[in-house]
Every structure is written in C-alpha cells, then in structure tokens.
Amino acid sequence: MKNILLLILILTCSFELASAGTLVLEGKYQNQNLYVINGTMDNGVGFCTYQVSINGEISTDEVNSSSFEIDFTQFNIKPGTPVVVRIEHKDDCSPKVINPEVLQPRATFEVVSINLDRNGILNWSTKNEMGSLPFIIEQYRWHKWVEVGEVTGKGNMDKNSYSFKVLMHAGENKFRVKQVGYGDISKKSSSITITSSVSEPSYMLSKDTKSIMFSSETLYEVYDAYGKVLKRGYGKNLNVSNLEKGNYYLCYDNIITEFKKKGNPFFQ
C-alpha cells in the first residue's frame, strides 16, 4: 500500500514539473516594478503563477491573486543592475506582464563634464547611466545637427569617461552628445562651442560637371530639389557623374551652395 502511494506521489510530482512553464524577462532595473496579470487554471481552481525569482533569488511577492506586483526593492537592487526575472507558472495558463518595457534601457545619463582639446578630441564624462546605449556625437553644420560618430555607452551609474575624434570646419563649431532609449525617447547634452583656425575650403565644378574638387578634405552632402540626400562623404573629390541634369544643393565645410549638372549621365 505504501509503495502504491509513493508511486502515485512520484507520478503526480513528475506531472506537475513536466507541465510547468517559465516566463523569462531580462534587462536592467530602471527603478520601476513589474506588474503581472495572473490567470486562473482551466478548472477555475488556483492561480497560474506559483513562483517568481529575481537573479536566482525567490521573491516573497504574493502571487496567489488575479494580479500582482514584482517588487525589486526587497532585494536592494540598485538602478542600472542587470536582472533576470523568472515567472514560474502552470502549463495550461500563462501570466501576462503588462509593462515589460520598464526593464529596457532609457536615456538617463547626466553629463559631469564635456570639453574639446587642442587635438580635436571631444571628451565627456557622465553618471547615472541605467543601461548601455550608444552615445551619438552630433555637430551643428548646415543649419542642422549632423551625426558625425558613435560611441557605445558603458551603462554604469558611477562616473563613465568617453572620447571621440571630431572634424572641425572653419569658424565656430558646436558639438553635443545624445542617447536614444526605449520608445525612441532621446536625451541630449548641452552643446560645447569652439572657434577653429581651420581655413575655409573652396570648390570647383569640372567643365563636364562630372566631378567636384575641394581645395582641402571636407565633409560634404548633395541634395536634390526635394531635399533628398544623394551623396554623403568626406574627402577632396566628389563624383557626380551619375546625377541627372538639373540643379542641386551642395553642403561642405559649413557652407550651403548650389550647382547645376549638365547633360544626361547615360549619354555623356
């Protein structure tokens, strides 16, 4: 009789383990808790979730209800800490986390310092990064902010230091850094301004209008009449032989001008 009861107990436990499911969420703690809608079993008896763990430690949250909160503060987790949340549930039902995005990185950095040295190196330090996001370096050119580089953020709450080599144009230069976090919400630093001694380059359009030559290397962009970017790059020579006949806008250094392309590129 005892053997039969033991066999029944083993089979029951095996069935429960085999029928269990796990919902796993990973990210970084952003100072916000998770909220879970907890379903009931198909027979209407008992709730779906039976255990929650954070980074391998069992949570003391009460899960025997139609909804519950996963509270990170019980583990004294610091903002920005990587977390793995495991929600163990019965196989014939599934809990639903209604705000999983709170574990996704957001742009929370604060700039401690930002400066540009004599070698054209942009240096900045930050604190309160709650997730690793790329820093986008922007320069103000052609009446707009232009992306000129990218550096991977370290994502630490403590002080982080970064540097990036920038290219100066003639006259006043303005730079800033920004991050774009979850939901495309961005955060930008204040801009830093410095006057460059770089000489303003000139340009010349070839007689056949197939190429543009600059007097020194420069960033450039070419737009059509509708504002569509057709060419973008850096150097002293710009090949425009494949552009159709018409008028175009040329942006280089910190100058915006126009040029006219002659002929059809397929019959020249």
Q: Can you give the three-state secondary structure of 26-62, one letter per residue? A: EEECCCCCEEEECCECCCCCCECEEEEEECCEECCCC
Residue 267 domain-assigned?
no
Range of the domain at 207: 203-261
Give percent above pLDDT 90 in the chain: 70
| Lowest pLDDT segment from 18-32, 96-110, 232-246 | 18-32
DSSP 196-263: E-PPPP-EEE-TTSSEEEEEEEEEEEEE-TT--EEEEEEEEEEE-TTSPSEEEEEEETTEEEEEEE-S
**215 & 230 share domain:** yes
Cα–Cα distance, 161 to 112 (Å, whole number): 9
Residue 144 domain-assigned?
yes
pLDDT of residue 43: 64
pLDDT at 193 over 50: yes
CATH number at residue 244: 2.60.40.3080
Encoded tokens for 192: 């830093």
Q: Which pTM value belongs to this model?
A: 0.75
**243 & 182 share domain:** no
Last residue of a domain, one of 196, 211, 245: 196
What's the pLDDT tens digit per position in 6-21?
333 333 333 333 346 9
- Over residues 162-177, the mean pLDDT reads 96
pLDDT of residue 46: 81
Q: How many domains is the chain built from?
A: 3
CATH number at residue 136: 2.60.40.10
pLDDT at 70 over 80: yes
pLDDT at 1 over 60: no
8 A C-beta contact, residue 164 and residue 147: no
**70 & 134 share domain:** no
Residue 131 domain-assigned?
yes
Q: How far is CA 42 from CA 90, 93, 141, 223, in A?
A: 10, 7, 62, 62
8 A C-beta contact, residue 105 and residue 181: yes
Last residue of a domain, one of 88, 103, 118: 103
Residue-averaged pLDDT of the chain: 88
**16 & 59 share domain:** yes
Expressed in angstroms, the distance from the first to the final Cα of the chain is 99
Last residue of a domain, one of 68, 103, 138: 103
What's the pLDDT tens digit per position in 141-167?
999 999 999 999 998 889 999 999 999
**34 & 97 share domain:** yes
More confident position, 17 or 184: 184
**126 & 144 share domain:** yes
Residue 237 domain-assigned?
yes
8 A C-beta contact, residue 55 and residue 75: yes
| 42 — pLDDT class (breaks 50, 70, 90) | low
Residue 165 domain-assigned?
yes
- Over residues 225-237, the mean pLDDT reads 94
pLDDT of residue 130: 87
| 33 — pLDDT class (breaks 50, 70, 90) | very high
